[in-house]
């Protein structure tokens, strides 16, 4: 665990969410699934669904590198960082 300017951060390396059942209103995964295999993404999403309250939402971004037009976005983000 780490503290970060008043925010509680947890390093969690499993394909799951460190939260009780039906305890979250929103899960935000910015480019998390871009770096996972499809099977791992499914496992992750199933566990996110478990942790979301009824009516909760999952917001995520994903680049599919099999789509040639998305490489330009990846390269731009990588080079501008």
pLDDT digits (tens, 9 = 90+) for 45-81: 999 999 999 999 999 987 766 666 666 665 665 565 5
CA proximity to 62, closest of 51, 54, 70: 70
pTM of the model: 0.68
- Listed by start position, the domains of the chain span 2-80
pLDDT digits (tens, 9 = 90+) for 11-52: 888 989 999 999 999 999 888 888 888 889 899 999 999 999
- Exposed (0-12), middle (13-18) or buried (19+): which is 32, by Cβ within 10 Å? middle
Sequence-distant (≥ 6) Cβ neighbours of residue 54 within 8 angstroms = 22
């Amino acid at each position: 665990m780490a503290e970060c300017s008043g925010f509680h951060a947890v390093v969690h390396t499993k394909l799951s969410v460190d939260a009780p059942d039906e305890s979250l209103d929103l899960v935000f995964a910015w480019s998390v699934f871009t770096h996972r295999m499809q099977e791992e993404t499914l496992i992750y999403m199933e566990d996110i669904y478990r942790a979301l309250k009824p009516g909760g939402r999952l917001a995520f971004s994903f680049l599919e590198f099999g789509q040639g037009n998305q490489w330009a976005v990846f390269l731009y983000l990588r080079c501008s960082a």
